Chain A
């Protein structure tokens, strides 16, 4: 990895006067591990920090596990989530069925594992959609300013003002197909203004930097300024919010499924299972405990990941100064 072309060598000074006091390559930044002077961008600096953050490592491992079982649930299950026998209805833990059975006599362990897929799919798709739409609208609003900004911001405010649960009850009961895409669509529709506000703020902050002015002074076009100078410096807060919001989206999917307008059976989802278990909580608490526990752990993992990413990307925490 060591790059010989960037070895801190003697500064070639062609003007009179003493050489700059500070060692080239260290800048004014904090002392970093690894070879001094090795070129490292802010992204790789962030990655360098993340790898050493136990919160990140734990949450990343949890998420990796979750992603693997949602892609290949067969890896750790032997039964089918639809392989149910009413004779086992609400039965407790038994050999081969460690989490017990649902009212329908389905294996709770199998259903919990298979339920991860719906949650992860909704969480990731809704977040990607929200981030893309929000960043595009917010970035455009912040970059153009003026009346375009006013119009886009007001449109965002309209959607921002709709409570998600109310909007979900109304819109999803109209659609009434209970598909994954309708839930994703709803979350994106009602969730983008939050990302847009953050993206707009970040773009306005980045726009005021002298390097944007410098690019314009060189004759750079609007798209070039936006894509090469503003966007890379405004994307960090959007990424942080997106990471945290994966957890929120997963919880939201469960909530919508619980109140009966989100995903519907035969789809297997934690929200549906929690909904079914909730009226049997006294008879069979295990039916509620496992899917709810899985949901909480997943949401927690994504929020922890978001926190770690924010700490690594926030320049004010990073360098204690102007960067």
Chain B
């Protein structure tokens, strides 16, 4: 589905290290938390790229890097060929018109002292060229209507809305500048299950309407499968596997993805039988001191000596390269292979991990 289309966002070797310092007055760096350690992917016009992974694997840092809320340590993010990680001031502000964000927690992402009209309308104060002054109130009401809220609610405060309604306000704020890309950092994980579905449906509807591209970050595997065209799996600051939703969910080749998917609960008790659960031993290593070679090797049942010395690159495995099967997608494992016992979670709803 991505053939022949130009990517709107190209991420190349994105790195973010948070320095660990010691000393009070004269701080010296004693190490770094490698929150994001060399991530590359493309985002195409109109598609949704899901990013999954457990808590602390760097998903939210990726979102902040894409939004330029954190400065990348290294690497580039190209928006239509322009590297936005080096931008500042006016040029950065111009790019922000095209890349917007929806936040995780609708309870803290809206200023409690401002009315809905002011929250959404502030966008036009910051970017006055988008809407002339007299037109702003009407535009805010239009946006409220677009996200399924009563336009008459413009004078209300955030605490007068439910969680799902607040998230709609957050989406309206993200849409106000008419961006091309929206970064969604766990946009529904703070909501009730029934409300999650409404918000997801709304986001899909808006995608069709405005031809939006989403980077959809979540830890809920089934929601990601539902909304995404392609899915990337992250582990400890690295992208371990990336492919279309079918490739990742039905033909995972990376052991971590296989373990993650096997943890998805299956609602049907009969289908549950004969299904093998992969239980990983140990904990996620500290991102301040990640294992050498493959980062997953400390918990991997396939690990061999090669894994400790050689970093596996994210690429289509050699032996599948010429095949046309769904197994042939990018996977960062020396022994990438489809597991015979991998469960097919289907549409089952589950959370991969909770922090």
Contact = CB atoms under 8 A, between A and B. Distances in A.
Chain A interface, DSSP helix/strand/loop, else mixed: loop
B157 A218 contact: no
Nearest to A210: B109
Interface in A194-214: 209-211, 213-214
Contact of B159 (A9, A18, A27): A27
B74 interface: no
Contacts of B119: 211
B101 to A, nearest CB: 5
Contact of A12 (B69, B96, B145): B145
Interface string A12-46: 11111110111011111100000001011110000
Contact of B148 (A12, A22, A26, A217): A12
B92 A323 contact: no
A220 interface: yes
B289 interface: no
B295 interface: no
A20 B157 contact: no
Interface string B92-117: 11001100110111011111111100
Contact of A39 (B93, B127, B157, B173): B157
A219 B165 contact: no
Contact of B104 (A18, A42, A210, A228): A210
Contacts of A228: 111, 114, 122
A33 to B, nearest CB: 15
A211 B110 contact: yes
Given A24-B161, A24-B162, 18 more contacts: A11-B150, A12-B149, A13-B198, A15-B201, A20-B165, A21-B162, A22-B162, A24-B153, A37-B160, A39-B157, A210-B103, A214-B103, A215-B111, A216-B69, A217-B100, A218-B123, A219-B93, A233-B112
Contact size class for A?
A: 35 or more
B111 A39 contact: no
A209 B113 CA distance: 13
Given A27-B161, A39-B155, A214 B92 contact: no
B68 to A, nearest CB: 8
A136 B164 CA distance: 37
A232 interface: yes
B113 A219 contact: no
A308 B90 CA distance: 47
Nearest to B100: A217
Given A210-B104, A211-B110, A219-B92, A17 B201 contact: yes
A75 B177 CA distance: 61
Given A17-B201, A28-B162, A218-B96, A5 B152 contact: yes
Contact of B96 (A14, A24, A219): A219
Given A11-B150, A233-B113, A213 B69 contact: yes
Nearest to B113: A232
A224 interface: yes
Contacts of A14: 145-146, 148, 202, 205
Contacts, number: 145
Interface of B: 25, 64, 67, 69, 92-93, 96-97, 100-101, 103-105, 107-115, 119, 122-123, 126-127, 145-146, 148-165, 170, 173, 177, 194-195, 197-198, 201-202, 205
A233 B112 CA distance: 8
A7 B113 CA distance: 20
Nearest to B102: A214
Nearest to A224: B126
Contacts of A217: 67, 69, 96, 100-101
A15 B198 contact: yes
Contacts of A233: 111-113
A21 B92 CA distance: 40
B150 A9 contact: yes
The 9 closest A-B pairs by CB, nearest first: A210-B109, A219-B93, A211-B111, A232-B113, A22-B162, A17-B198, A219-B96, A210-B108, A27-B160
A17 B103 CA distance: 22
Interface string A210-245: 110111111110001000110011000000000000
Nearest to A4: B152
A24 B126 contact: no
B17 to A, nearest CB: 18
Given A6-B155, A214-B173, A42 B112 contact: yes
Contacts of B148: 11-15
Nearest to B192: A21
A231 B170 CA distance: 21
A3 interface: yes
Contacts of B173: 214, 218
Contacts of A219: 92-93, 96-97, 126-127
